[in-house]
Amino acid sequence: MKSTYDYMTHAPPRPVLVDTLPTTDIQTLLRDMSADLDGTHGSNRATAARSQIAANADVDALKAWLARFSQTKTTFDSYRKEAERLLFWSVIELRKPLASLTHEDLLAYQRFLADPQPVDRWVMPAGRKRARGDAGWRPFAGPLSPASQRQAIVILNTLFSWLVHAGYLAGNPLSLFRQRQRHAAPRVVRYLDDAMWQEVKATIADLPRGSRRDIEHYHRVRWLFTLLYLSGMRISEVAGNSMGAFFPRRDRSGTTRWWLEILGKGDKLRLVPATKELMDELAAYRQSTGLPSEPAPGETRPLLAPIGGKPRPMTRSAIHLIAKQVFVRTADRVRAQGPEHAHTADILAAASAHWLRHTAGSAMATGDMDLRHVRDNLGHASLTTTSRYLHSDDDARHQATEDSHRLGW
């Protein structure tokens, strides 16, 4: 039988922990290794009398946990990724089942997340993302940032706590991690100021329009950035909602106003005002593809579609790539203006589609809008989250300090 090391180096797994998809190599590997690595006799297993789930092996226990999130794709994908990474690492590096992991093992795993080694086994080659069935696919794109490391541990703590509650594990090895005091969230910093946003718009305005495909690409990019900025939508919401989410409604004065009903994070619905500017840009985008200006009730066409071919929904990765190309192009143009613009160019190069949500929130919160309206537009649970976008308060405080608090040497 091929060793786990050969398995990872020469035949990367296509891991999926759901019954609706084909059996994967990692599941086959665990089955072939029987109870040594599949968790059946894990040292942290609870007694059979306590079990609330039918699972008797780690993969089945993970399936039971993930089934709780199957209705929310974004959450499911994120949780599956972290569970798979830990399972692979435990089996391949420690040669232990997940059900035998100790507190010390999880400390080692936390260090591993910061620097997955060996690189050729765990990290995808630089460049474009690889599909899970591709020979170049690996569980990691590179070392995780401190924030991503914390997020991974939070998710795994949720996993272990649930497995203990379900009677599969006797204890949670992550429960001994030092509990840090919860601090107030800082101001949002991953956003574009007015000058940077103007540079991005200039880049979009200068996109080539020499061919039919160029024209369609220009209108699609312009529509994407308009939608992200004016609605404050998340990239997953752009991918997961359709044109039928737009609808008109008369207000008390008889004026027809358009709205956008978004199914967002946590399967929560929210209504976002579809302003005249947003509807004008929607009309331009639709007309560029030969569609009527206004969407029809119940229209299933996605909010953003590939150029040519069937109007199928685009993946989050594809939408992210479109936005990223614009930011990189803008950064290159700004950098060419001189060394004094290098810092601005670096920020633009680091930007992603999600920055536009923060940019939208900052612009709305800094203007004359009621903070409650900003909260509802962005789908925040509380005003505390929304208040993180109030950069104008920080700016005013900085100016007041500058004017009034001096040393005088």
What is the pLDDT, as a whole number, of residue 368?
A: 66
The residue to which tokens 């007015």 are assigned: 194
Asked if residue 217 belongs to a domain, the reply is yes
| Omega cis (within 30) before 118 | yes
Query: 333 and 203 in contact (C-beta within 8 Å)?
Result: yes
Return the pLDDT at 208: 93
pLDDT band per the 50, 70, 90 thresholds, residue 4: very low
360 and 211: one domain? Answer: yes
**Percent of the chain, pLDDT > 70?**
76
Judgement on whether residues 115 and 260 belong to the same structural domain of the protein: no
**Which one is predicted more confidently, 124 or 207?**
207
pLDDT at 328: 94
Mean pLDDT of 265-276: 79
Considering the domain boundaries, does residue 295 fall inside one? yes
Nearest to 295 by CA among 251, 254, 250, 242: 242
Residues 213 and 137 occupy one common structural domain: no
DSSP E strand boundaries for 265-338: 269-274
Report the SS3 class of residue 296: coil
The verdict on 144 and 200 lying in the same domain is no
295 & 356 share domain: yes
The DSSP call for residue 293 is: S
Residues 344 and 251 in one domain: yes
- Looking at residues 144-168, what average pLDDT do you find? 91
Residue 182, in any domain of the structure: no
> Within its chain, how far is the Cα of 177 from the centroid?
26
CATH number at residue 231: 1.10.443.10
Distance CA 284, CA 288 (A): 6
Provide the mean pLDDT of the chain.
80
- Final residue belonging to a domain, choices 144, 165, 186: 165
Quote the Cα angle for 215-299-283, to 5°.
Answer: 35
Tell me the C-alpha distance between 70 and 259, whole Å: 28
- Alpha-carbon distance 346 to 159, whole Å? 37
Closest CA to 136 of 277, 10, 295, 264: 10
Q: Is the pLDDT of residue 30 over 60?
A: no
As a whole number of angstroms, the distance between CA 355 and CA 342 comes to 19
Structural domain contains residue 283 = yes
E strands, 21-148, where? none
Same-domain status, 229 and 347: yes
pLDDT value at 388 more than 70: no
**241 and 286 assigned to the same domain:** yes
Q: Using pLDDT thresholds of 50, 70 and 90, give the confidence band for residue 401.
A: low
Q: How many domains does the chain have?
A: 2
Secondary structure element (H or E) that encloses residue 215, with its range: helix 212-231
Query: Is residue 116 situated within a structural domain?
Result: yes
Domain end point (choices 126, 147, 165): 165
Same-domain status, 48 and 137: yes
- Whether the CB-CB separation of 107 and 95 falls below 8 Å is answered with no
**What pLDDT, on a 0 to 100 scale, did the predictor assign at position 64?**
93
Domain membership of residue 409 (yes or no) is no
If one counts every other C-beta atom within 10 angstroms of the C-beta of residue 86, the result is 25
**Would residue 185 count as lying in a domain?**
no
Is residue 354 located within the same domain as residue 302?
yes
User: What pLDDT does residue 1 have?
Assistant: 35
pLDDT attached to residue 22: 29
- Domain boundary residue, one of 124, 145, 165: 165
Residue 171 buriedness (CB in 10 A; 0-12 / 13-18 / 19+): middle
Q: Compute the distance between CA of residue 236 and CA of residue 307 in angstroms, rounded to an integer.
A: 19
- For the ranges 31-40, 59-68, 291-300, 308-317, the lowest mean pLDDT is seen at 31-40
224 and 300 inside one domain: yes
Which of 192, 193, 194, 224 is CA-nearest to residue 207? 224
**Mean pLDDT in residue range 326-344:** 93
User: Which residue segment(s) compose the domain that 313 sits in?
Assistant: 194-400
Q: Determine the pLDDT at residue 331.
A: 94
Q: Is residue 172 part of a domain?
A: no
Least confident of 82-96, 103-117, 204-218, 355-369: 355-369
Whether residue 216 sits in one domain with residue 77 = no
